[in-house]
Each structure stands twice: as C-alpha cells, then as structure tokens.
C-alpha cells in the first residue's frame, strides 16, 4: 500500500507517526512483551471496531494496531532481516493515521460461497460509501488507500476487505468531539445496495480523536 495523495495535505497537522525499523522489536524481544501487548491491542480493537448492518464491520486502525500487525507477521513468517521487516513496514504504514486523518479496514463478513456470490457483486464501490456523520450533520467520506484503489480493477465484483482513509479539516475534528457528550456521531454506509448506520460510542469517539489530534 502507498500513501494517498490526499494524505500529503495532512503534514501541517504535525510530525509523522509512521513506523520505522526502530519501532519493531526483534523476535526474542517481542516474545517477552507479546502477551501484554496483545491484550492491550485486543482491548483497543474492541473499542475501535464497529459493526454496521449485518455483514460489514469497520475497524479503525492506529499506530498500535498496525505495529501489532507487523510484529505478528514478522513472528509468523520468521522475518529476521531489516529488509524483510522494512517491506512489512512499507506495506502497512499507510494505515497508520496521521493527525487530521483516520484509517480503517472494512471487512465484508461472509462465511459461505453462496454469501460471497450474493454480496460481493452487490457491494461494488463500497469503499467510497462509508461516511462519518458528525454531530452537526456534516459528513466526512471515505476514500480507498491509493494502492488498494489500484487493485480494484473488476467492475462486477468487489473485495471482501477494503483499506479506507478519511481526511478531516480542523473544524471537523472539533465538531466530532461533541459526539462524546451527546452521542450523535454515527458511522453510515450509504451504498445504494446497503443502507445502514451505527452510532459511535463515546469511547470510540475518544479513540478517534486521539488519532485526529496532533
């Protein structure tokens, strides 16, 4: 995955949060912290994961969730060299949100071949139909991460996993913060074949604001 051109406009919000080699522990060091780190990330994921309707889940990523993903990939694949680790960092770094940005993984949760044949053709274009509706009624719409977008080449079927980004203006971040108090922030899917919405809890909004603020 590569950074979207839209993300280039976010530099004014502060220093980059992207991961580097120094952030990734070697296999032995990671084993010593793995249990505690895994529990912490699982707790984060529970707060940052939102079911929207019957078959779609949106999981908002953070620096911690992506570091966990890279550490687990390195552990399972027994990656030992800096070059191998850097390749994983380069793959997943676009999903580390910079200030003013949210990044998410959208899962179309299907458990059978029949369900895939039904839903994947129906949900073509879903990556541009996820909306964060703010307490004042305004909206921030998803766009696909650039490399992911380049891979969506089939017009009649979509992927079961999508990598999304959202770019916020500073004023929109302030408006979102109202959702902690009044519970009016929502995650909406406005795809013509899938019209669903879920309220964002105060805990989820607080997590997203940690990503969005410098």
Give the tens place of pLDDT for each residue, 35-67: 999 999 999 999 999 999 999 999 999 999 999
pLDDT at site 14: 54
pTM of the model: 0.89
In the chain, the percentage of residues whose pLDDT exceeds 90 is 83
Q: What angle do CA 209, 106, 202 make, to 5 degrees?
A: 30
Single out the residue of 107, 137, 143, 145 nearest to residue 125, CA to CA: 143
pLDDT at site 13: 46
Query: What's the whole-number average pLDDT of the chain?
Result: 91
pLDDT at site 6: 42
All structural domains of the chain with their residue ranges: 17-212
Give the tens place of pLDDT for each residue, 110-150: 999 999 999 999 999 999 999 999 999 999 999 999 888 88
**Total count of residues recorded for the chain:** 214
DSSP string, the chain: ----GGGGGGGGGSS-----GGGSPPHHHHHHHHHHHHHHHHHHHHHHEEEETTTEEEEE--HHHHHHHHHHHHHHHT--SHHHHHHHHHHHGGGSPPTTEEEEEEEE---SHHHHHHHHHHTTTGGG-EEEE-TTS-EEE-EE-HHHHHH---SS---SEEEEEEE--HHHHHHHHHHHHH---EEEEEETTEEEEEEPPHHHHHHHHHHH--
């Amino acid at each position: 995955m590569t950074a979207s051109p839209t993300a280039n406009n976010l530099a004014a919000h502060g220093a980059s949060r992207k991961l580097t080699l120094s952030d990734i522990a070697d296999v032995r060091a990671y084993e010593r912290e793995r249990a505690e780190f895994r529990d912490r990330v699982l707790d984060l994921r529970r707060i940052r994961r939102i079911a929207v309707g019957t078959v779609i889940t949106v999981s908002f990523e953070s620096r911690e969730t992506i570091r966990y993903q890279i550490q687990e990939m390195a552990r399972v694949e027994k990656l030992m060299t800096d070059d191998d680790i850097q390749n994983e960092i380069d793959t997943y770094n676009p999903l580390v949100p910079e200030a003013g940005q949210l990044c998410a993984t959208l899962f179309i949760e299907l458990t059978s071949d029949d369900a895939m044949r039904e839903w994947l053709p129906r949900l073509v274009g879903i990556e541009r139909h996820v909306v964060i509706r703010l307490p004042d009624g305004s909206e921030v719409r998803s766009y696909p991460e650039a490399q992911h977008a380049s891979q969506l080449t089939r017009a009649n079927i979509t992927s079961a996993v999508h990598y999304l980004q959202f770019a916020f203006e500073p004023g929109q971040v302030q408006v979102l913060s109202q959702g902690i108090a009044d519970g009016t922030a929502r995650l909406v899917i406005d795809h013509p074949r899938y019209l669903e919405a879920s309220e964002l809890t105060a805990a989820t909004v607080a997590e997203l604001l940690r990503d969005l603020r410098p």
